Copies of this chain bind each other. A is one copy, B any other.
Amino acid sequence: MKKSIGAKTIIYPTPVLVVGTYDKSGKPNVMTAAWGGICCSIPPSVAVSLRKATYTFDNIIEQKAFTINIPSISHVKEADYFGIATGKTTDKFSATGLTPVKSDKVNAPYVKEFPFNLECKVIHLFEIGLHTQFIGEIVDIKVDENILSKTEQPDIEKIKPFLYDPGSSSYYGIGEYIGKAFSIGEVFGIK
């Protein structure tokens, strides 16, 4: 029996995206966002939704660039802090001891200690409501060498990312391998 729980902003899973930007004076900032994800294959693009009130919003408008950094479980406290504190009054890198590194391809800093870093240039801005969606073309990804498999592919089991559960405002790890996509469903027959 289905039950209505009303209009809520819940899906499973949502990501933990740490958005890196410079302000107009060049000060690096990071904030954590869960409303976002890959949104296009060609050009390879990622969407992230931000409220206008955030420091990061103004920084992206100014620089037309941002990074998306995927933290490992070992940095869950830092990632959570980046979603609580504001860059308006805080230097979040100094507070946590993490290291901003100027991206190679865009004018935005990535978080050195996080293993997976997307460098993005803004190609669209879409107004939705309380949140505005920035669409960033992914121009490069930088990764820690030790998260690559023997075939040089990024390995989720080495990255150890985590996810955000909007239903309980909690973080969860990544679980066990279940199966191969575009494959295990073939049992139902493909015409």
A residues engaging B (CB < 8 A)?
1-15, 17, 34-47, 49, 68, 70, 73, 76-85, 89-90, 95-96, 101, 104, 112, 116-118, 123-124, 126, 128-131, 133, 135, 137-145, 148, 152-156, 159, 161-191
A6-B131 contact given A35-B37, A36-B39, A76-B184, CB 8 Å threshold: no
- Are the C-beta atoms of B13 and A174 separated by less than 8 Å? yes
Copies of this chain in its oligomeric complex = 2
- Are the C-beta atoms of B172 and A175 separated by less than 8 Å? yes
Residues of B within 8 A of A179 (CB): 76-77, 80, 170-171
- Are the C-beta atoms of B184 and A80 separated by less than 8 Å? yes
* Bound form: Cα–Cα A46–B128 in Å: 10
A157, closest chain B residue (CB): B172
- Are the C-beta atoms of B173 and A175 separated by less than 8 Å? yes
Residues of B within 8 A of A34 (CB): 38
Write the nearest CB–CB distance from A80 to chain B, whole angstroms.
3
Write the nearest CB–CB distance from A14 to chain B, whole angstroms.
6
- Are the C-beta atoms of B182 and A13 separated by less than 8 Å? no
Residues of B within 8 A of A73 (CB): 178
- A–B pairs, 16, beta carbons within 8 Å: A2-B112, A2-B145, A6-B140, A9-B41, A10-B116, A12-B15, A35-B40, A43-B128, A79-B185, A83-B185, A126-B126, A126-B133, A156-B170, A163-B163, A174-B174, A175-B176
